[in-house]
Amino acid sequence: MEATVHDQHGHATDHAHDAHHEEHKELSFFWKYIFATDHKVIGMQYLFTGLIFLLFGFCLMMMMRWQLAYPGKPMPVVGNLVCSALNMACKGLGDESMQGGVMSPAFYNSLGAMHGTIMIFLGVVPLAFGAFGNFVVPLQIGAVDMAFPRINAASYWSLFVGGIVMFVSFFVPGGAASSGWTSYSPLAGIATTGQTLWLVGMIFLITSSLLGAVNFITTIIQLRAPGMTWMRLPFFVWAQFVTGFLLLLAFPPLEAAGVMQLMDRLAGTSFFLPSGLVVTGMPSVVSGGGSPLLWQHLFWFLGHPEVYVLILPAMGIVCEVIACNTRKPIWGYRSLVFSVLFLGFLSFVVWAHHMYMTGMGQKISTFFQTTTVIISVPSVIILSALFISLWGGSIRFNTPMLFALGFLPMFGIGGLTGLPLAFNAIDLYLHDSYYVIAHFHYVVAPGTLFGLFAGIYHWYPKATGRMMNECWGKVHFWGSFVCMNGIFMPMFLQGMAGVGRRWYDGGQTYEFAQGVIHSNVGISMSAWALALFQIPFIINFFWSIRHGKKVSDNPWEATTIEWAAPSPPPHGNFVETPEAYRGPYEYSVPGHPKDFTPQSQTA
Amino acid sequence: MDIPYTVLPRKDTGLWNAKVGIWLFLASEVMLFGALFSTYILLRVNSPETGALKWPHHLLNVPIGTFNTGVLIFSSITVILAWASLVLKNLKAFKWWMGITILCGLAFLGIKSREYYQKFTHYGVFLRDGTVITGHMKNEDVKLKEGEVTRYISNLQVVNGVVNAGPMKGSEIEHVMIAPDAPAGHGHEAAEHKAEKIEGKDIARIASYGPWYSPYFAIYFTLTGLHAIHVFGGMVVNTFMWGPGTKMYFTNPQRFTNRVEVAGLFWHFVDLVWIFLFPVLYLL
């Protein structure tokens, strides 16, 4: 029996070879760039999609910032443009939303809801997981491609459809979803058509992430190059591995919840609709008997692991960039790995700290308060290890390193200001205030986004064979760094004064808000200035594709295996199958002629 | 530069890629159905002791459910035999066993849709005093004050005796006739009692036994509906293996056997979900 099986195996591989050689024929434009199965092309598709949606989500916020800084005043130029665009797409929608350039409360709500949704599910996740995971992970483990290239393409196109659905939802009667990015029921259950499209879009986005997660984990388990043992994996790969598991196991409950909310909206069920529901003075016809809290539990069961989906890949990128640019091994590689695993595990048991205000009971609150405080430990270990790695390094202050260094204190502020929120008693006061907004934006905006920018500058020469312009890169960094703090630092003060996160006029009518409300103008100015400082990046990014300085395959003199591949890597990645002979961060090894020893180098 | 381990297992993991992939996918499926089972538990413990939204016990037809469970378990055996036939290089036996597996899936869906149909044609009239009369009704059993003919009572939305939606919106109901179910113990399919007349002013709501009827029906239809979609998906894959996919057997038999194994794992998962659904929805 054993013998026959082996016989079959030998036979099988021969045929697999035949089939693949046929595939290597020159592909048409359509198959090469549109329905591509090469992980690098798909990574680029994710990158461009993610960046475009990031800009789009930012534009939504810039419009909201006008309303917050100058409540009720007509928005110059843009206001009328948006009004007529919406009118053109759906008769009367523009007048409802932006008549004369003045934003209506309902439109403000839907901008807020869609800003959150787009930034998280269509901006950061496609960039952090889709783009960097796809482009870098197979290269770093020395693989030829992802384990399932066609599933990879399906994953991208599912995201694309989800993005289109989300975009289209702005132009249906009633406008886009307006019940917050959390879509709490029963509010979302009775909202306009936009909410239905939000749910349909989410189901596509979730499907995309699930397919991606299966693919990433399989790739990391199965396709590591010879000698690439688990403890020789670059930290970035570990971060993506854990992220994959978070998406794989946390997203399905939201998919189930999405299906149920869709049933509530379309099939008249009452999963999340309570008995005796009255809508605009009319008793609702639904059966009732459902539980609005159930939606919150299912939503945050994804929602909290999602936070780590956003931050872990950025931590991984920062770790790579710091190791390379301090020219010394990362401090505490093993601690980093075990911390990230522990973090991944714990992130599944902290979700209800988003729900202290729901009155779910002291015992449950205490449990989640405890786990939430514990989860700060591995995060602090990771951040400390990265900080300590700087000690005694001969640091190169290039653009990627600046972004990575910017990440550390920014994530530090974001993380530490989260600690008070972990405590039930303090959260009761700070809940749903601008303090919360400032806290998680410090983690995600100057945190994750800086990590992602570091990654773009760092791996750009690998993807194109050329460098991005350093000078404009530094303008991009310093401008963004100052503006980010200008936006989010005052929000802590506003939040502590009690300003609520969803107020349409920034708190004009509340006496206790008067002391901090003037900073809304400064915040908005910073936000618009931040947009201006992205222009050098955008131009730099496209200009350098053709005109950037040509560089060798390993311009940063880095150690990890992706730098052993040609730049840009061809289909199949490596000239010959690479092999790992050592750990990922062998910089400045005493007795070696050079200050870096690539993983693929034999001696 | 081919992707390795598509056919042969990797030495240190002992697995080929698709097998890792399908187990991961099934893990996510467990979380998907896990969330729905959690919903079931939560809705059930929250349901009131009395009244219209009381959790119904033993409402579904147990013999039919048992039979359907048997059909799926049997198909789990045949899908294994299909795979085993391929390992033994017996393509003809594979075709037979896989064919039977597909037919079992078809039978399951057929029986399930018959159960669905019976639910959609069964009604509850919720009275304003809180009681519910369940039974069978036809379109002409609903008499409106204006004397219009009632259409589509299956999705009639009534609030306090007035139609709330659709083409008859605003019409007041004069009375409805309903043939009530036999009292408990006789089985609700048994001989029906004489039609009962209910005045429009007493009616709070009329609904068929669809997902909108109560939280129990909501979760019943969502769970079984999602499961039915999975059964259908599994059947599509199995049919591909049975039909056009078989081509691969002649060029790469090992890879084809692997594919059938992966499809079989999914089919087992679909069966397993039903093994949980059956007691939860029919017996408890």
Stated as kind and residue range, the H or E segment containing A283 is: strand A282-283
Q: How far is the alpha carbon of A261 from chain B, nearest alpha carbon, in Å?
A: 11
Residue reference for tokens 């399951």: B108
Per-residue pLDDT at B164: 74
Q: Cα separations (Å) of B246 from A23, A530, B266?
A: 21, 58, 18
Backbone angles phi, psi at A576, to 5 degrees: -130, 155
10 Å Cβ neighbour count for B41? Answer: 11
Quote the CA–CA distance of B257 and B278 in Å, as a whole number.
31
- Other C-beta atoms closer than 10 Å to the C-beta of B166 total 12
Ranges under pLDDT 50 in chain A? 1-23
Q: Name the band, by pLDDT with cuts 50, 70 and 90, for residue B155.
A: low
The DSSP line for A7-53 is HHHHHHHHHHHHHHHHHTSPPPHIIIIIS---HHHHHHHHHHHHHHH
Instruction: State whether B46 and A269 contact (CB < 8 Å).
Output: no
| Cα pseudo-dihedral A418, A424, A425, A431, rounded to 10 | 60
Per-residue model confidence (pLDDT) at position A5: 39
Residue A580: both structure tokens together: 């790992």
Tell me, what's the pLDDT at A276?
84
What average pLDDT does range B146-163 have in this prediction? 70
Contact residues, chain B, for A222 at CB < 8 Å: 4-5, 10, 13, 15-17, 20
Rounded Cα–Cα distance for residues B134 and B157 (Å): 16
Q: How many residues does chain B have?
A: 284
Q: List Cα–Cα distances, B63 to B60, B70, B76, B111, in angstroms.
A: 9, 11, 20, 12
Q: What does the buried/exposed string (b/e) look like for B236-265 if buried means 16 or more CB atoms within 10 Å of the residue's CB?
A: ebbbebbeebbebbeebbbbbbbbbbbbbb
DSSP class of residue B61 equals -
The band of B232, judged by pLDDT with boundaries at 50, 70 and 90, is very high
Q: Which residue in A16, A267, A291 is closest to B212 by CB distance?
A: A267
The torsion defined by the Cα of A269, A274, A275 and A279, in degrees rounded to 10, comes to: -90
| Contact (Cβ atoms closer than 8 angstroms) between residue A448 and residue A466 | no
Residues from chain B that touch A259, judged by Cβ atoms under 8 A, are 222, 226
Q: Which candidate from A250, A263, A298 shows the least CB-CB separation from B218? A: A263
Residues of chain A contacting residue B18, judged by C-beta atoms under 8 Å apart: 148
Burial class from Cβ neighbours inside 10 Å (0-12, 13-18, 19+) for residue A471 reads exposed
Q: What is the mean pLDDT of chain B?
A: 89
How many Å lie between the alpha carbon of A183 and the closest alpha carbon of chain B? 18
The alpha-carbon gap from A102 to the nearest alpha carbon of chain B, in Å, equals 35
The confidence score (pLDDT) of residue A21 equals 44
Which residues in A lie closer than 8 A to residue B21 (C-beta atoms)?
147-148, 151, 214-215, 218
By C-alpha distance, the chain B residue nearest A13 is: B7
B128 vs B162: CA distance, rounded Å: 12
**DSSP H helical segments within A90-141, as ranges?**
93-98, 105-117, 125, 132-140
Return the minimum-mean-pLDDT range out of A187-201, B123-137, B181-195.
Answer: B181-195
Q: Which two tokens stand for residue A601?
A: 């180098």
pLDDT one-digit tens code per residue, B238-254: 999 999 999 999 999 99
* Cβ(B116)–Cβ(B162) below 8 Å: no
Instruction: Work out the minimum CA distance from B158 to partner chain A, whole angstroms.
Output: 7
- pLDDT category of residue B208 using cuts at 50, 70 and 90: confident
State the count of interchain CB pairs (< 8 A) between A and B. Answer: 180
Select the residue of B10, B32, B214 nearest A252 (Cβ to Cβ): B32
Residue of B1, B3, B27 with shortest CB distance to A147: B3
Task: Give A-chain residues touching B27 at CB under 8 angstroms.
Answer: 248-249
**How would residue B199 be classed by pLDDT, with cut points 50, 70 and 90?**
confident
* Average pLDDT estimate for B78-99: 97
CB contact under 8 A, B212 and A269: yes
Q: Note whether A270 contacts B28, CB cutoff 8 Å.
A: no
The answer to whether the CB atoms of A253 and B157 lie below 8 A apart is: no
Tokens in use for A10? Answer: 């030998």
Looking at residue B138, its pLDDT comes to 80
Label residues A50-73 b or e (16+ Cβ within 10 Å = b).
bbebbebbbbbbbbbbbbbbebee
pLDDT for the residue numbered B150: 62
The confidence score (pLDDT) of residue B88 equals 97
pLDDT of A9 reads: 41
- Mutant choice from A1, A8, A228, A233 vs B, greatest count of B C-beta within 10 A: A8
Specify the CATH number for B17-119+214-283; select among 1.20.120.80, 1.20.120.1460, 3.30.300.30, 3.40.50.300.
1.20.120.80
- ipTM, two decimals: 0.92
Contacts of A214 in chain B (CB under 8 A): 21, 24-25, 28
Where in chain B are the domains? Answer: 17-119+214-283, 123-198
Contact A298 B214 (CB under 8 A): no
Contact yes or no for B39 and A255 at CB 8 A = no
